[in-house]
Chains A and B, each alone.
Chain A
Amino acid sequence: MTALAPQSTHHVSKEVILQASEVTMKFGGLVAVDGVNLTVHAGEIVGLIGPNGAGKTTFFNCLTGMYKPTTGRVEFNGAILPPKPREVVVAGMARTFQNIRLFPNMTALENVMVGRYCRTTSGPVTSIVHGPKFRREEQETRARAAELLEYVGLGHQGASLARNLPYGDQRRLEIARALATDPKLLLLDEPTAGMNPQETREAEELVFRIRDSGLAIVVIEHDMKFIFNLCDRVLCLVRGKTLIEGTATEVQSDPRVIEAYIGSPKTKEAPDA
């Protein structure tokens, strides 16, 4: 990891966990993300909204090193993040996916154990020799994974193959797997997509619990009720650009946001559950 390089105009305080500055991602002539800034503080939930194709997921991919941004910089915990997924995870940023991407033929428990990979140290030689350190680490990994499954409410599903889990459980399993990497910041890409209202409420409750355990969260969501219930701040992207950034209430009532979406957010805003 590179050392602290506070070149930005913002003062990098201890509080700031993620600072993305002027992130731009071009694919040929298409500018998918255009100069987006995002600052996330510890223990904060930030919502990322915008119509389909606004560049939300592309922006996530820039943050997690899946894409190398054309220009711009991502600082995490005061250090510039290299655009390499593995190092991003090691630095403490984990994510879930819009289209569920579990390891389908592994059990739920194994999926979470894979998440522990970068936090354990035994290498190939120790594995084969099967030394005490290896055994202890395996035990710890297993115990921690079981604990996380319990935490997201899948304690009874550990032995099921990931592909056989119901949809909502698969989403929760992805969160457990991401948590297994001991992140400081969790990126959730549409965590309630395809969920029924009951499951959405459970997901909401889970996200709050994760926040209360001290993690910062950035969440992409189309469910506005979910976003406005959950988020301390909301960033609205339209065609790759930041339309508005503010508190949930500010963004909710901004006419430009209403305009950017098809239909008005008022129709989506059912009475508070």
Chain B
Amino acid sequence: MILDPLINGLSLGALYALIAVGYTVVYGIVQLINFAHGEIFMVGAFGALSTWIVLGRATNNLSWWMLPLMILGGMIVGIAVAVLMERFAYRPLRHAPRLAPLITAIGISVFLQEFVRLFFGMIPGFPDAKAAVPFPQIEFFTGPAVNLGFAVVQRATFFTLAALIICWGFLWWFVNRTKLGRAMLATSQDADTARLMGIDVDKIITVAFAVGAGLAAIAGVAHGLRYGNIDFKMGFLAGLKAFTAAVLGGIGNINGAVVGGLVLGVVESLATSLVTGQFGGAAWKDVWAFVLLIIVLVFRPQGIMGAKVVDRA
């Protein structure tokens, strides 16, 4: 009985976690909350949709192997937008007061939403994006839920959880076992010293944005599979929740973002299904998420796994 909402919560949490990593990685390197990151998630989903429209719609191809192509397409679009955003919106403000990039982030966010809303449908053959757009329901990853005996699991859940595990593993390997990852770690601990050790900090920042965008795009695809459609404003709430997850886990800490995302998803899902009556049900799910944020901010402001970040030298 409790397993269904738990698994549903893990799936939702995995989605948050994939986006939250982007907030946390960028924050760890430049101490910037990139509030436009939720839009990268949205743009990534639209990128994946576009890939399908170009490659698969003519034949209504819904075979499983379309999915990697869509993910790739989504990642390319998401990463391109994120890198351009960093280069042209944030980099000129690198030494500006902190408020400037924050306001810029909100501006980019509105810009990207409106851009997709107004112009996506203007591409010949593309559906109008002023309302929700159906996302291709790739066979195997959608369709009837699977009954595992102890619980009934949506197929998209498998995809989302697998995506999170693979991405998490990849990130661990990237940060701990590659030269670029080591340079990222060094930059996050002391950017000035990293520069004096010959690290191109601008490049590291670009890489941080790209890594976050790649994961957000995968989350965009997962969202499309899970809910069956995508829309231009889906990045707002998802971004806010993912930001919450990143703060919950301890911003700047990759593992914290993953744990924070999962915790947030599970709490949201459990609270929604266990609390019923006037103050319960689906209408209250966002309330529980932000109540959790407030509790953590009051009692453990550095986040669940924040201890590691505190000792930045």
Contacts and interface: CB of A to CB of B under 8 A. Distances in A.
A64 B196 contact: yes
Interface of A: 64, 66, 85-86, 88-90, 94-95, 97, 101-106, 110-111, 113-120, 122-124, 127-128, 134, 137-138, 141, 163, 177-178, 181
18 contacts: A64-B196, A85-B192, A85-B198, A90-B198, A94-B197, A95-B196, A103-B186, A105-B189, A105-B308, A111-B186, A114-B182, A114-B183, A114-B199, A117-B197, A120-B179, A127-B174, A127-B181, A177-B197
Interface in B162-187: 174, 177-183, 185-186
Contacts of B85: none
A252 B198 CA distance: 36
B193 interface: yes
Which of A86, A94, A128 has its CB near the most chain B CB atoms (within 10 A)? A86
Given A97-B193, A124-B207, A127-B179, A106 B198 contact: no
B210 to A, nearest CB: 8
A124 B195 CA distance: 18
Contact of B198 (A104, A113, A117, A128): A117
Given A127-B178, A138-B178, A103 B189 contact: yes
B194 interface: yes
B197 A181 contact: yes
A105 B185 CA distance: 9
Looking at chain A's contact residues, the main secondary structure is: helix
Contact of B190 (A86, A95, A101, A141): A101
A86 B183 contact: no
Given A103-B189, A104-B311, A86 B199 contact: yes
A137 B308 contact: no
B37 to A, nearest CB: 20
Secondary structure at the B interface, as helix, strand, loop or mixed, is helix
Contact of A66 (B177, B192, B201): B192
Given A124-B180, A127-B174, A117 B199 contact: yes
5 closest residue pairs by CB, A with B: A118-B198, A89-B198, A127-B178, A103-B189, A101-B193
Contacts of B200: 86
B313 interface: yes
Nearest to B183: A117
Contacts of A105: 185, 189, 308, 311
Nearest to A105: B189
For A85, A106, A128, A178, the residue with the greatest tally of chain B CB atoms inside 10 Å of its CB is A85
Contacts of A90: 198
B198 A115 contact: yes
Nearest to A120: B179
B195 A106 contact: no
Q: Most A CB atoms within 10 A — which of B180, B181, B196?
A: B196
Contacts of A117: 179, 182-183, 197-199
A88 B178 CA distance: 24
B186 A89 contact: no
Contact of A106 (B186, B192, B199, B312): B186
B180 A114 contact: no
Nearest to B311: A104
B174 to A, nearest CB: 7
B106 to A, nearest CB: 29
Contacts of B313: 101-104, 163
Contacts of A120: 179
Contact of B179 (A88, A101, A106, A138): A138
Nearest to B193: A101
Contacts of A106: 182, 185-186, 189
A85 B179 contact: no
Interface in B100-126: none
B194 A114 contact: yes
Nearest to B200: A86
Contacts of A114: 182-183, 186, 194, 197, 199
A186 to B, nearest CB: 13
B195 to A, nearest CB: 4
Interface in B292-308: 308
Given A85-B195, A106-B185, 4 more contacts: A97-B193, A101-B190, A103-B189, A117-B182
A88 B190 CA distance: 18
A138 B174 CA distance: 13
Nearest to A84: B195
A94 B199 CA distance: 12
Nearest to A116: B179
Nearest to A101: B193
A172 to B, nearest CB: 16
Interface string B204-232: 00010000000000000000000000000
Contacts of B174: 127-128
Contact of B182 (A66, A110, A181): A110
